[in-house]
Amino acid sequence: MTTFGDYQAPPFWRRPFFRRSAAQIAVVVGLLAVLSFFIGNASANLAKTSTTLGFGFIWSRASFELGEGITGFVAGDSVLAAFWAGIVNTLLVSLASIVTATVLGIAVGILRLSSNPLSRLLSSGYIELMRNIPLILQMLFWYAVITRSLPTPRKALSPIEGLYLTNRGVYFSVIQMPPSAFWALVALSVLLLATLAARATSRERTGSLGRLGDFRLAGAAVVAMLAVVLTTGSVDVPEIAGLNFKGGASITPEFTAVFLGLSIFSAAFIAENVRAGILGVSAGQKEAAASLGLRDGQTMRLVVLPQALKISVPPIASQYLDIVKNSSLAVAIAYPEIMRVATVVISEVGRSIEVIAIIMAVYLSISLAISALMNAYNKANLAKGT
Amino acid sequence: MSAGGDEGTDGRHRLRTVLRPLFGTPVNAALTVVILWLLVTAIPALLRWGIADAIWFTDDPKDCIQQEGACWAFVGAKARLIIFGRYPYDEHWRPLLAMIIVLAALVLSADWRQWRRRNWGRFLIGLWAVTIAASSMLMAGGIAGLESVEIDRWSGLPLTVMLSVFGIFLALILSVLLALGRQSKLPVIRWLSIAYIELIRGVPLISILFMAALLLPIILPSGFEISKILRAQAAFVMFFAAYMAEVLRGGLQAIPRGQYEAAETIGLTYWEATFKVILPQVFRLSIPSLVNVFIAAFKDTSLVVIISMHDLMGTTNAAISDPAWSGIYIEAYAFTAMVYFIFCGGISWYSQKLERHLKVGRR
């Protein structure tokens, strides 16, 4: 007969604590072995070419031009300045594409669910076509269309007055004004946005007088803006000078191609997220709104969209993250974003290990920043309750 | 309405059911008018360019440059370059056959009626090991009287198919380990898995491709040559494993605790429980999302053009850069887009069918 007195503790190698510790130690040791193997090879290979690692090179002079940028980088500035120009270009083209893709995506997503069969057909055709063709092909296509098929500046295509499409880029008229007027406009638009935001977020929908006050303030802001523009502004129209345009503002073919490719491609994915969000709102909500006598448009705007937004925002935010990461494909058409700068630096200065570390750090920071924003938004939304 | 059906009212009724969604509300009417106007302007122009004014057959590029319409003769002349790239011209049957083998293995693995069979998973792993070995040997040659072909001459569609299919298969194996690691109770393993997954997901694929292309030669022993294609393949495996691990994590989290507890109660070890009880259910839940990762992988292999390799996208660019046919590019891009569309559209069509099947099976 066995009693508990006969119980023998299992040998130490069968105890859970030992096994778990052993497994973890084995993994760490294995990983360290692989790493030291790689590092050993790397230092041997680097010693052969007598190079040392270090980030000192970012202070050295960059002997290359980047093509475009708003930071005013020129050859002769530091490599660090080149990287900064690249980061700004990445953020610029991403931001422009995010705005356009969101607007286009919401429109296509809503049309995809319309009661009109033609609009359903058109939008689902758009989504399927764009989602199944690689982004890089789309960017190369737009770039080829701009640089090969658009006319030279002398024969520029002008669909509307003051806008010229050429193989050297897009030229358009801008309103020029003194800096003081510009800052006045900025201040007025902040006021306008603040008024609209206050109205949108306030829960008070009953006080009609208060709303009227909001409208008056917003209206006054708009009138003041118009007044500033009309009195101080002058239109700067691009004009042919020699082989190219002078005056006005322009966008390069590279930026246009990256922007078009990213926006049109990403809009298809955002449209799907919007659609999923709208379908995620229960049918009862729509029926309740209809039985209250709201029209289709009102139901959409006041009942469905606010709830759909809550479902769609997280996936759309991850689309934004994808847009930033996908902007790196611009290197294929030499738009000087961070990845392009990195390849230029590698070919001019070398230092591939350090440069790759820098671009990874940059993208990780951008990703972390966007996810932090996203989490803050989610938290705020959860706190508000549904 | 009478049973026989009054022709007049029936026709009018049918007309109304067609017209109401198109013109029923002012918004719909406006939409219909705008879309019809778009279609009426775009479709005839497209047909005129693509069919009526197009040149289908010619050997002389000059015929095309004068012409308003599409030059499909260009695609005809360049089709073999676009599809097989720099592979030796007389040996094109080998990449074709290799591609057919890979696609056949893919179709066989995709047939969900077989999934219930005993040891099917083990069979599939064996099937893919054989497929990878057979198709690579067929492409590389040097045995059985086949002329040897350098790996750097593999290009075009076979390269795209092999990079994406083999990449996804190897990434799947890695991703299972990563997903289990992320859910592990052992903190060191969990942290390492999380760090890997989040690091990879935070950076673009191109940076991983650059890393593989530039750093692999540095960190491997000198004299150990690794071809460009294998470096790119390693990058794809590393990159997509992180994304697939996240998909599998979703599946793992959806498995009720009771399943783990039941497996433990009947005395299964961790690995037995994982492979016999948990993972089969995880795969069932995650397969549609895994297929979506596969579609992304198929499209994203086109990024290798950036590290100057000649996949389908790269061979298309090579075809366009021929000065004899200068100025012709839309036709080649359209052809390549169509190839991608057929593959990706086909896979996503399968994914939808599968999802429906799995949902029906659950009920």
DSSP characters for A77-117? BBHHHHHHHHHHHHHHHHHHHHHHHHHHHHHHHHHHT-S-H
Among A230, A228, A248, A226, which Cα is nearest to A239's? A248
Mean pLDDT of chain B: 84
pLDDT computed for residue A383 by the predictor = 59
Is residue A208 predicted with pLDDT exceeding 50?
A: no
pLDDT digits 0-9 by tens, B153-202: 888 898 898 889 889 989 999 999 999 998 888 888 899 999 999 999 99
The DSSP annotation for B267-307 comes to T--HHHIIIIIIHHHHHHHHHHHHHHHHHHHHHHGGGGGGG
Which residues in chain A have Cβ-Cβ distances shorter than 8 Å to B189? Answer: 23-24, 27
How far apart are the C-alpha atoms of A233 and A223, rounded to whole Å? Answer: 15
Q: Enumerate the residues of chain B whose CB falls inside 8 A of the CB of residue A29.
A: none
Distance CA B255, CA B278 (A): 7
Name the A residues in 215-254 with CB < 8 Å from any B CB.
none
Which CATH number does the domain housing residue B268 bear?
A: 1.10.3720.10
Q: What is the dihedral of CA A175, A178, A180, A185, to 10 degrees?
A: 0
Helix B279-300 and helix B228-254: axis angle, to 10°? 140
Element housing B187 (H / E): helix B187-202
Q: Is A28 on the interface with B (CB under 8 A)?
A: yes
Q: What average pLDDT does range B328-337 have in this prediction?
A: 88
> How near does any CA of chain B get to the CA of A352, in Å?
7
Q: Does residue A132 carry a pLDDT above 80? A: yes
B17 within domain boundaries:
no
DSSP state of B266: T
Give residue A211's pLDDT.
54
Provide the pairing of β-strand A174-176 with A163-166.
unpaired
pLDDT band at A214 (very low <50, low <70, confident <90, very high): low
Residue B307: closest C-alpha in chain A: A332
Chain A residue closest in CA terms to B334 = A141
Q: Does residue B245 belong to any structural domain of this protein?
A: yes
Which structural domain, as residue segments, surrounds residue B202?
72-89+150-362
Instruction: Check residue A382 and give its pLDDT.
Output: 63
* Alpha helix ranges (H) inside chain A: 16-48, 79-112, 117-131, 135-144, 179-201, 208-232, 253-280, 283-291, 296-298, 305-326, 338-349, 352-384
Nearest by CB to residue B302, choosing from A114, A136, A325, is A136
Q: State yes or no: pLDDT of B244 exceeds 90.
A: yes
Of B220, B243, B92, B83, nearest to B171 by C-alpha is B243
With an 8 Å Cβ cutoff, is A133 touching chain B?
yes
Question: A103-112, A254-263, A347-356: lowest mean pLDDT where?
Answer: A347-356
Q: Contact A268/A106 with Cβ under 8 angstroms?
A: no
Q: What are phi and psi of B311, to 5 degrees?
A: -80, -165
Tell me which amino acid residue B342 is.
I
More confident residue, A76 or A35: A35
Residue B355 lies in a domain: yes
Per-window interface: A 338-357 vs B, CB < 8 A: 339, 342-343, 346, 352-353, 356
* pLDDT tens per residue, range B273-283: 888 888 888 88
Chain A residue numbers with beta carbons less than 8 Å from the beta carbon of B178 are none
Q: Is A356's CB within 8 Å of B204's CB?
A: no
pLDDT band per the 50, 70, 90 thresholds, residue A201: low
Residues of chain B with Cβ-Cβ distance to A353 below 8 Å are: 214-215, 218
The neighbouring-strand residues paired with A239 are A246
Would the CB atoms of A296 and B25 count as touching at under 8 Å?
A: yes
Is B297 within the bounds of a domain? yes
pLDDT at position B339: 92
Question: Lowest-pLDDT range, A59-63, B1-5, B176-180, B211-215?
Answer: B1-5
- The average pLDDT across A118-132 equals 91
- What pLDDT sits at residue B3? 47
In this prediction, residue B240 carries a pLDDT of 94
**Domains contained in chain B, number:** 1
pLDDT in tens, A169-198: 888 887 777 788 888 888 888 888 887 777
What is residue B4's predicted lDDT score, i.e. its pLDDT?
45
Best residue in B188, B243, B341, B347 for a mutation probing chain A (most A CBs within 10 Å):
B188
- The pLDDT value given to residue A213: 58
**What tokens were used for A186?**
């900025």
- For residue A209, the model assigns a pLDDT of 47
Asked whether the predicted pLDDT for residue A203 surpasses 60, the reply is no
Tell me, what's the pLDDT at B179?
92
Residue B318 covered by a domain: yes
Distance CA B8, CA B320 (A): 58
B221 at interface of A, judged by CB pairs closer than 8 A? yes
B250 in reach of chain A (CB within 8 A): no
Residue B292 domain flag? yes
Burial of A152 (0-12, 13-18, 19+ CB in 10 A): exposed
Beta carbons of A133 and B214 less than 8 Å apart: no
Instruction: State residue B361's pLDDT score.
Output: 57
Q: Between A386 and B92, name the one with better pLDDT.
A: B92
For residue B21, give how far its alpha carbon lies from the nearest alpha carbon of chain A (Å): 5
Minimal C-alpha gap between A91 and chain B (Å): 14
Cβ contact B313–A356 (<8 Å): no
pLDDT above 50 for A206: no
CB pairs under 8 A between A and B: 158
What pLDDT was estimated at residue B360?
64
pLDDT at position B354: 85
Residues of B in contact with A346 (CB under 8 A): 214
Mutation for testing the A interface, residue in B210, B226, B291 having most A CBs under 10 Å: B210
Q: Which residues contact B170 (CB under 8 A, 6 or more apart)?
A: B233, B237
Q: How confident is the model at residue A267 (pLDDT cuts 50, 70, 90)?
A: very high
CB contact under 8 A, A118 and B330: no
A1 has a pLDDT exceeding 60: no
CB A308 within 8 A of CB A274: yes
> Is residue A322 predicted with pLDDT exceeding 60?
yes
B32 in contact with A at a CB cutoff of 8 Å?
Answer: yes
Q: Quick check: is B209 in a domain?
A: yes
Mean pLDDT, to the nearest integer, of B47-74?
A: 77
- List the structure tokens of B46: 């497209």
Range from A49-58, A316-325, B228-237 carrying the lowest mean pLDDT:
A49-58
More confident residue, B61 or B205: B205
The answer to whether the Cβ–Cβ distance between A114 and B28 falls below 8 Å is: yes
Confidence band, pLDDT 50/70/90 cuts, at residue A212: low
- Tell me the chain B residues in contact with residue A122 when contact means C-beta distances shorter than 8 Å: 35, 38
Residue B226 included in any domain: yes
Q: Which residue has the higher pLDDT, B11 or B362?
A: B11
